[in-house]
């Protein structure tokens, strides 16, 4: 499992430069707005614009610096607590620490700010031994305004952290889901390839044996047999990586495949193929019909007196039916290789297509397959 570095993750959640500047401007505006709302009729506001421009600019500069320091200190505290006490671990402890540390930082900055004002305006530093109620009121108001600014920044930082953390978590989950889907797809493709290559090994040896006999008895027939044998395996090589092929391609492959069976089994099996032209352009998982034919021959007797009848047709457009007569072999003679209906059903399920419908009665075994009617890119 991939290890997640939470330190790096938390550092990525630190506000960008644009956000930091936004917080400073926001704090600066909030500083004056809250101050005015708390006491709009104070002498400070009544005489505010009667002062010289230099005094106002100097005050704004100090206020902006003060707001900048509050913002940066809040971000610094927020970042350090993200690393040591994240919100996801202990919410109560995190809230207490963030409020307490910001409160201490605000008081410290207020003292520093008072020193700056004392330097700018020495007369303001001449405070009586017992401060008046107005002065106490101004200091308390200053503390309240500063705390409001600080807590607003805390709220913005926390909301930004939680939103970014949620986005990060959702992105990681999406990436894990994508990787899982890719692994599943690779597994499906590997399983499909394995299923498609499960041809009966006896088929190879039987055909090679028949071919050697035909070459000795009838060279022309042996040549035709070898040509069709080559067509069958050429088809397997070309289509081994394809999940879907057209029904017409499958039928043309079957013609070569059936040629081999008829000369190997003789008159013990009869084939009938009756497919309309429209259905030939639809799609089917490759080798489906070949596997069903092989399955029918494997589990039924093939003799001249009672030949095995195999019919491939489409009674309705978009559906192909393969059926064979039943003349079961003695179970002791059957050696199953795992190829057959289970293989076909698994392939249809892996491809997400409708599973073939299998019916049987006393005389007939029938498999109805729904063709794929939409355009599909195969290969």
Output 109 or 127, whichever has higher pLDDT.
109
**188-197, 227-236, 370-379: range with highest mean pLDDT:** 227-236
Please, which contacts does 74-77 make with residues 24 or more away whose CB atoms are closer than 8 Å? 74/23, 74/102, 74/105, 74/150, 74/153, 74/154, 74/157, 75/14, 75/15, 75/20, 75/23, 75/153, 75/157, 77/101, 77/102, 77/105
Quickly state the pLDDT bin for 365 (edges 50, 70, 90).
Answer: very high
pTM score, whole prediction: 0.49
Check residue 183 and give its pLDDT.
55
**272 membership: H or E segment, kind and range:** strand 269-274
In the block, residue with structure tokens 């926390």: 158
11-44 pLDDT tens trace: 444 446 777 777 777 777 777 777 777 777 776 6
Phi, psi of 266 (to 5 degrees): 85, -145
Fold of 197-370: Heat Shock Protein 90 (3.30.565)
For the chain, give the mean pLDDT: 75
**Domain chopping of the chain, boundaries:** 6-193, 197-370
User: What confidence tens digit (pLDDT) does each residue in 157-215 have?
Assistant: 677 667 777 777 778 787 777 776 665 665 555 455 555 555 556 667 777 787 787 77
First-to-final CA distance of the chain: 33
- Are the C-beta atoms of 250 and 289 separated by less than 8 Å? yes
């Amino acid at each position: 499992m991939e290890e997640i570095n939470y330190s790096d993750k938390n550092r990525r959640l630190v506000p960008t430069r644009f956000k930091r500047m936004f917080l400073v401007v926001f704090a600066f505006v909030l500083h004056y707005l809250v101050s005015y709302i708390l006491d709009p009729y104070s002498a400070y506001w009544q005489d505010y614009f009667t002062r010289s421009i230099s005094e106002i600019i100097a005050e704004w500069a100090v206020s902006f610096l003060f707001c900048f320091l509050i913002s940066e200190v809040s971000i610094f505290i927020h970042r350090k607590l993200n690393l040591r006490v994240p919100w996801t671990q202990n919410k109560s402890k995190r809230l207490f620490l963030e409020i307490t540390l910001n409160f201490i930082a605000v008081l410290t900055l207020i003292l520093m700010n008072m020193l700056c004002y004392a330097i700018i305006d020495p007369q303001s530093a001449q405070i009586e031994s017992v401060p008046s109620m107005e002065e106490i009121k101004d200091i308390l108001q200053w503390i309240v305004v500063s705390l409001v600014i600080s807590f607003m920044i805390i709220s913005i930082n926390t909301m930004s952290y939680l939103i970014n953390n949620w986005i990060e978590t959702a992105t990681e989950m999406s990436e894990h889901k994508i990787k899982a889907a890719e692994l599943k797809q690779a597994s499906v493709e590997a399983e499909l390839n394995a299923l498609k290559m499960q041809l009966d090994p006896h088929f190879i040896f039987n055909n090679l044996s028949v071919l050697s006999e035909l070459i000795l008895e009838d060279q022309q027939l042996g040549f035709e047999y070898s040509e069709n044998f080559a067509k069958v395996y050429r088809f397997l090589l070309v289509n081994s990586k394809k999940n879907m092929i057209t029904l017409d391609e499958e039928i043309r492959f079957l013609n070569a495949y059936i040629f081999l069976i008829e000369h190997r089994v003789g008159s013990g099996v009869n084939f009938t193929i009756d497919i309309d032209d429209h259905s030939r352009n639809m799609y089917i998982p490759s080798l489906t019909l070949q596997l069903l034919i092989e399955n029918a021959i494997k589990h039924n007797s093939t003799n001249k007196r009672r030949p095995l009848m195999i019919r491939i047709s489409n009674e309705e457009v978009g559906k192909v039916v393969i059926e064979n007569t039943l003349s079961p072999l003695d179970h002791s003679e059957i050696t199953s290789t795992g190829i057959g209906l289970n293989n076909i059903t698994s392939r249809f399920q892996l491809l997400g297509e409708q599973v073939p419908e299998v019916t049987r009665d006393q005389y007939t075994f029938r498999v109805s397959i729904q063709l794929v009617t939409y355009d599909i890119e195969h290969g």
